[in-house]
Amino acid sequence: MSATFDVFTKRTRLFYAGLAITIVSAIVLGLCGIYNVQYETPWEPLFDALIIIASFTSLGFVLLMGTGIVRTYYKDGELVLADDHLVINGVKIKLNEAKAINLKVSMASIKTVGNMLGNRISLTDSNNETYQNRFVVRGYNRYIELENILNQWRANGVAFSIRYHNF
């Protein structure tokens, strides 16, 4: 049994543009709410239009990125986890030759949709070479595959440390 996951190092420009628009529009809406901006200027229709456009753009960004419809990372390769080995950075490493395997995995529930991007793996082999990557778990079914592989590793006596986190 094996599972393959996308590996990435960089996010897309679309992600950073959407994040910037979302942060700026949240700050502007917050300031407008705090200071109750109600002054008449010739620029008021432009400001109102920009606030509405930024709010809808932010909402669209959150929905598209949160559901995983649009990919927010550049795929650099694949991480393959199997019962007796793993392939990281194109190097096949047997689990009994690994000194340390550290995983940081996002938790998922049946309601989880979209891509979980906060996953990391770090492996030190018998030659003291360290391999590190960020990998993507695409939805709940892929999360279950990852958990099945990790349970198989536990049953086989593979020593690894894992840390779960939300988002």
> Tokens in use for 139?
């939805």
Total domain count, the chain: 2
How far from the centroid of its chain's Cα atoms is residue 73's Cα?
9
> What is the share, in percent, of the chain residues with pLDDT greater than 90?
16
Instruction: Tell me: pLDDT of 36 over 80.
Output: no
Residue 85 and residue 133 share a domain: yes
Q: What 8-state DSSP symbol labels residue 69?
A: S
Residue 53 and residue 81 share a domain: no
Residue 112 and residue 43 share a domain: no
Residue 112 and residue 47 share a domain: no
Parallel, antiparallel or unpaired: strands 98-106 and 161-165? parallel
**Cut 0.85: pTM above it:** no
Q: Which domain holds residue 117?
A: 2-9+73-165
pLDDT on residue 37: 65
pLDDT confidence tier of residue 167, bands split at 50, 70 and 90: low
Residue 45 and residue 26 share a domain: yes
Per mean pLDDT, which range of 26-35, 38-47, 90-99, 105-114 is the poorest? Answer: 38-47
Environment class of 18 (CB within 10 Å of its CB; exposed 0-12, middle 13-18, buried 19+): buried
pLDDT on residue 43: 75
CATH of the domain at 104: 2.30.29.30
How many other C-beta atoms are found inside a 10 Å radius of the C-beta of residue 98?
19
pLDDT on residue 147: 92
pLDDT on residue 148: 92
Environment class of 86 (CB within 10 Å of its CB; exposed 0-12, middle 13-18, buried 19+): buried
Residue 136 and residue 104 share a domain: yes
